[in-house]
Amino acid sequence: MQCLYCSESGNSVEHPLPAAFGEFRDAPYLEGRICTACNNKRLGVLDEQYARCGPEALLRRFYGIEGRATHEPVNVFERGSAGGQRIELKAKDDVLGIDILLEIENRTFRQMRQIVFVEEAGTTYHLPIIAGSRPEELLAAYKQLGAVPPYGDVRIFYAPDEKEWVEHLIQEAWPKVTFREGSVGSTRYGEQVARVGLTDRYFRAVAKIGFHYFLTQFSEYSGHEQLFSGIRGFIAQDGTGVEKANEFVGERQNPLLGEMWTPGVRPDGWRAHALCAETRPGECLAYVQTFVTEDWRAPVYAVRLAQDAGIVDCRATGHAYMYFDGGPQGKFIGETLNLETTRATWVPPPFAPVVKSA
């Protein structure tokens, strides 16, 4: 079969749920619909931004979820990927009286290596110090901050065993700088605020996940049909602008999983992703909810795959990708379970837009 996105042969095996979230036993795969080049390169950047730049990137770090061993490890708090920005996690250091950058790994929060510039007016700017950086790279990143000297305070954060190389790097970048012993800041932090910067690729990844999952479940469709031309074009076309996402992706306002219907109820320790799809008169839909956990109120993305008067059947399907409690079992990090589906008689509320106007 021809690739869904180009004229080449569909010769690869596609993971509807990106492999960055782990390998799950009994997971459905999309075979023979996408060529290797589109799978690995053209569409690979969508998975990369979704897994490394959105809220999911923060949760992957929090839970210690790793993708394929062949992929380059990236600290999402130091740099972005595939055109998306790095994750910025800030908290107030009550001892020092300034905001600082934090990073997470396996449920542990810690200060990032960073320089904090505090303008005399009180505005703070944070410059991450990345291992292996050259002085010119540090200077270029500093210029992008837009901080204006003179400063009321400048503080450097690093681990004791990093002192030598960090101070050497800074002195190469700013030869006239001198160092003095500083005070110890907080070891506990209150509310943290995370900021993510996304492009259209993030929501195109959501659309791709939903579309490819739908095709694994509804074998009567190849994906080449004219009714899917809109969603194929949205997924494949780079640089369309993030606002276009609202044409194909919305946020479902009622829960996807039965366990979440009761207000205030959250999963009791389990962690999972949910992919679902349905046909109903006049349309095909898919739903994507990643990292359904007790720590995160995961949004439910609804993907509008097709609208056509010829669609008359009502059918729904779903899978939960559940992580094992005790860690990986061989190559599998969890297992995939079929979800029981129910049909409601009431009309659900309309989907909310995922990109809201300023």
Query: Per-residue pLDDT for the chain (358 aa), expressed as one digit of tens each?
Result: 899 999 999 999 999 999 999 999 999 999 999 999 999 999 999 999 999 999 999 999 999 998 776 667 789 999 999 999 999 999 999 988 899 999 999 989 999 999 999 999 889 999 999 999 999 999 999 999 999 999 999 999 999 999 999 999 999 999 999 998 887 788 888 788 999 988 999 999 999 999 999 999 999 999 999 999 999 999 999 988 999 999 999 999 988 988 776 766 777 788 999 999 999 999 999 999 999 998 888 999 999 999 999 999 999 999 999 999 988 999 999 999 999 988 777 777 899 999 987 5
Strand 193-195, strand 272-280: pairing: unpaired
Question: Cα–Cα distance between 52 and 83 in angstroms, integer?
Answer: 11
The candidate with the shortest Cα–Cα distance to 235, out of 245, 243, 227, 226, is 245
CA distances from 184 to 56, 100, 109, 188 (A): 32, 13, 17, 12
| Rounded CA Rg of the chain | 23
Contact 252, 351 (CB under 8 A): yes
Percent of the chain that is helix, strand, coil (3-state, to 5):
25, 25, 45
> Which residues have a Cβ under 8 Å from the Cβ of 277 and sit 6 or more positions away?
210, 213, 214, 217, 218, 284, 285, 286, 287, 316, 317, 318
pLDDT for 89 equals 96
| Measured distance between the N- and C-terminal CA atoms of the chain, rounded to whole angstroms | 44
Question: Cα–Cα distance between 27 and 10 in angstroms, integer?
Answer: 20
DSSP state at residue 1: -
- Model pTM above 0.85: yes
Q: Which two tokens stand for residue 111?
A: 């200060």
φ, ψ dihedrals at 296, nearest 5°: -145, 125
pLDDT for 294 equals 84
CA distances from 91 to 100, 120, 184, 294 (A): 6, 20, 16, 22
Q: Which two tokens stand for residue 300?
A: 């439910």
pLDDT for 140 equals 96
For the chain, what are the domain ranges?
A: 13-66+197-353, 88-195
Burial class (CB in 10 A: 0-12, 13-18, 19+), 109: middle
Alpha helices, H only, the chain: 36-37, 44-53, 55-63, 135-145, 163-173, 200-217, 229-236
> Which residues have a Cβ under 8 Å from the Cβ of 51 and sit 6 or more positions away?
18, 20, 21, 57, 60, 67
DSSP characters for 15-51?
Answer: -SS-GGG--EET---EESSS-HHIIIIITHHHHHHHH
Interior CA angle at 278 toward 272 and 279, to 5°?
175
